[in-house]
Amino acid sequence: MSPAQTNVWVPVCCDRVMRFNMFVPQGGAAYGALVCTVCSKNVTFELESLLDLDAYGEGARVLNMLGSPKPPKVDRPKAAAEDRLNDQTL
């Protein structure tokens, strides 16, 4: 029997994997940001306790996501249609 395949979300913009930066200001709350190195689009992430996730209601999910300060600088190939349809993380 083969081990179960685990999927992970990869943040992509402009056909490139987005860079993840974490900031920990002195005396402040830590936060992270995904940044596109091509168009400079960014998404900010704030820390939240797992205990507080019930406030998001039924159907909310915690996603496994890849975050790297130095992602590869190559164009990201699109996933095959059959792989996207069989994704159990959706």
pLDDT for 36 equals: 95
- Is residue 2 a part of any domain in this protein? no
Domain count along the chain: 1
* SS3 state at 81: helix
Domain that holds residue 15: 9-47
- pTM for the predicted model, two decimal places: 0.71
Position 86 in a domain? no
In a domain, 33, yes or no: yes
In a domain, 87, yes or no: no
Structure confidence by residue, pLDDT tens digits, 24-76: 888 888 899 999 999 999 999 988 888 878 888 888 888 888 899 999 989 88
Mention every residue, 6+ apart, whose C-beta is less than 8 A from residue 14.
Answer: 36, 38, 39
